[in-house]
Structure 1
Amino acid sequence: MDGFTSPLIGDHSDTERTYQLELRLGADHARRRLATEHEREALFLSRTGKHVHPENLYSMPGLVRLALSLGGLYQRAVSNSRALRVTRNRFVVPGLPPALEGYTLLQLSDLHVDMDEANLHAVIETVRELDYDLCVITGDYRRDTWGDIAPAMEGMRRLRTHLKGTPLAILGNHDSVLMVPEMESMGYRMLMNESLCLEREDAALWIAGVDDPHLYQTHDLAAATRDIPPGALSLLLSHTPEIHTEAARAGFDLYLCGHTHGGQLCLPGGIPLTLDARIPRRLGRGNWMEDAMQGYTTTGAGTSILNVRLNCPPEVTLHQLSAGPDSVGQ
């Protein structure tokens, strides 16, 4: 995987991006996804051009800023949003092949790289010092859910130079499918309802990734699992935890996601005011289980609407695989 290079060349022209996308996904898939984006964007716009989706309301950042300022919390909340931490999580997988013992995944999510320059700098400075085997990124690169992708793509280009190997990535609800050829030209490997097999010695780990299940609902678990052998060790990358039930039924062992930001603005004790997802609250942050499948919902590295956080620190996460407490090397 480290030798992966894409045949696609990035370009800032939407026409060129569309052509590249059709080469990558097939004309039918690409055109249907773009048509869905245009339809969704039209729903976010009133006749006067004002954005009516909650994440895109022109007044929303000002309202949040005013509320925090009146409570004397605004500067603290901004500082919190840039205080990135490294969270370490251990997945105990019974029967894990010895060759995968200690295998470590770096998960990044909800970067919103064009939101706040200080936050992007914190991410870059943090990840460049970390030791891991594979980086996976679970979506949301752009600040808004509409508009020009160029600022977000520039941020992802800067980040890419500090990531080891070939990062695997999926799209979130803030992302345009036009990002796929652009990001693959940078050396990211996009999983669009696809899977790949990671091999180490005589062990195999299948990693699948689906398109956004939240806003666009263009995920396709059947396509993502098509090549995975029955009983194989498998991990799903999904932007949101909203398809946890279907993923468990599909036989995935592990599930990594983001989207919720852990609530971003939480009450003391980390109680979220909202998670913006159709999920039980137990899935909103950290570790969880669905039948035999283990999941993790990261609070994400970036912010949405406004670069503020309360009682919910931003994070990048290192997930280590282990067969159990008595494993070699523990």
Structure 2
Amino acid sequence: MARVRENNSTPLSSPAARLAAGAAGAAAAGLVYSTVIERNAFTLREATAAVLEPGSGQLRVLHISDIHMLPRQRVKQAWISELDDLEPDLVINTGDNLANPAAVPAVVQALGGLLSRPGLFVFGSNDYFGPTPKNPMKYFRKDHQRTHGEPLPWQDLRAAFSERGWLDTTHTVRELEVAGVRVAAAGVDDPHIGRDRYETIAGRPNPLAQLRLGLTHSPEPRVLDQFAADDYDLVLAGHTHGGQLCVPGYGALVTNCHLDRSRVKGLSNWGSTMKLHVSAGLGTSPYAPARFSCRPEATLLTLVATRSGGGADETVDQFLPQLENTLA
């Protein structure tokens, strides 16, 4: 008796097979693009914000965040070192500099000349603890349980920054004059891991200051509300990575904090008078080394005086060819 073997396989020439092969090819191409090309397509953005007291001059502020440095990341280190050519008046670092215990020298060397300029900083969770592998679905739950990796040498990094003249604003109010602008600045430790103690800096900063500046790593709304209640003009933050893996035409899927998606990166208003700038950052966790539709960035903010009667800010994104470094 002849036996007939049923073949349930789909011929390669069928439409379904061609569709599956095309999808697999697109997925592979997307993976290569996000992990090799875009992750290293460093970009300088420029924006203007009217936050200084009327009659003030201008202040050029370079905002750097979320470097997540590994010692072997030579491309990133070289790109960061070129930022000193911008000659900013003030450098702000909002944390997550490290991704490895041996990365402190690489961070210090990359920042190079910027450490000789006036600077302010706070730290993030990935200055204190190393990254760990995580289920990416956890990012869709804002209150997921967090696990810490190995301790990182944040004291060494703080000493290196401080010895070069940068001011630690963690739970401290600092006053300085930069480019003829009197600045009152204060910061909190990382709210993402519950280290913030806003009560240590609570109260309206010096009313004679022409700029009242707040720093935090994670832009948690409860902290932003406190800065706004104390009449700060501008708060700088990082942490979100701009969403890191974004959908073209839609934007970020998550912010990795309680901030809404519309403010995941760039300038926005917080309350009636305060501005918020969130940096999309320069790095990624080594366990999630990909970016899609969200290039790594630093931002040069030009702060100008408010106009009588208010007025909209002008925000401009520019890609400076001499500072871009995209892997072929």
Separation in 1, partners of 2:55, 2:117: 22
* Structure 2 residue corresponding to 1:130, chosen from 74, 80, 86: 86
Task: Give 5+ residue unaligned stretches, structure 1.
Answer: 1-66
Change (3 A) 1:88 1:68: farther
Structure 1 stretches of 4+ with a deviation exceeding 6 A read: none
SS in structure 2 at match of 1:214: helix
User: What SS does the aligned partner of 1:310 have?
Assistant: coil
Are residues 226 and 181 of structure 1, via their aligned partners in 2, closer, same or farther at CA, if it must alter by over 3 Å? farther
Q: 2:31 aligns with which of 56, 65, 74?
A: 74
State the alpha-carbon separation in 2 of the partners of residues 160 and 190 from structure 1.
Answer: 16
CA RMSD of aligned residues (A): 2.7
Cα shift readout 1:119-160 (whole Å, capped 9, x = no counterpart)? 4234324313212101110000122xxxx63x2211222123
Relative contact order higher in (CA < 8 Å, ≥ 6 apart): 2
Q: Which residue of 1 is the match for residue 262 of structure 2?
A: 282
1:207-232 residue CA offsets vs partner (Å, 9 max, x unmatched): 112111111x2222232346832474
**Which of 287, 304, 312 is the matching residue for 1:322?**
304
Deviation at 1:186, TM superposition (A): 4.9
Q: Work out which of the residue numbers 268, 283, 297 in structure 1 matches 2:278.
A: 297
Q: Deviations over 1:238-272 (max 9, x none)?
A: 10110222211122110111100001111113611
Q: Map 1:113-262 onto structure 2 (within 5 A).
A: 113-114=69-70, 117-143=73-99, 149=101, 151-163=102-114, 164-176=116-128, 177-178=154-155, 179-199=157-177, 203-215=181-193, 217-225=194-202, 228-230=205-207, 232=209, 233-242=211-220, 243-262=223-242
- Which residue of 1 is the match for residue 136 of structure 2? none
Question: Counterpart of 2:125 in 1: which secondary structure?
Answer: coil
Q: What is the alpha-carbon distance in structure 1 between the residues aligned to residue 25 and residue 298 of structure 2?
A: 25
For these two proteins, the number of residue pairs brought into alignment is 253
Q: How much has 1:290 moved relative to structure 2? A: 1.3
TM-score, normalised on structure 1? Answer: 0.69
Q: CA deviation at 1:90?
A: 0.8
2: CA distance, partners of 1:97 / 1:91? 15
Residues of 2 paired with 1:110 and 1:200: CA distance?
24
Shift in CA distance, 201/74, structure 1 to aligned 2, threshold 3 Å: closer
Does structure 1 retain, via aligned residues, the 8 Å contact 2:173–2:187?
Answer: yes
Q: Secondary structure at the match of 2:85?
A: coil
> Which one-letter code corresponds to 2:107 in the other structure?
M
Question: Is the CA contact 2:81–2:110 (under 8 Å) kept in the aligned structure 1?
Answer: no
Cα contact 2:67–2:284 (8 A) shared by 1: yes
Local SS of the residue matching 2:195: coil
- 1:189 to partner: Cα distance: 2.5
**Percent of pairs with identical residues:** 28
Larger radius of gyration: 2
Q: Are the aligned partners of 2:270 and 2:276 in contact in 1 as well (CA < 8 Å)? A: yes
- State TM-score, norm by structure 2: 0.69
Q: Mean alpha-carbon deviation: is it higher for 306-315 or for 122-131? A: 122-131
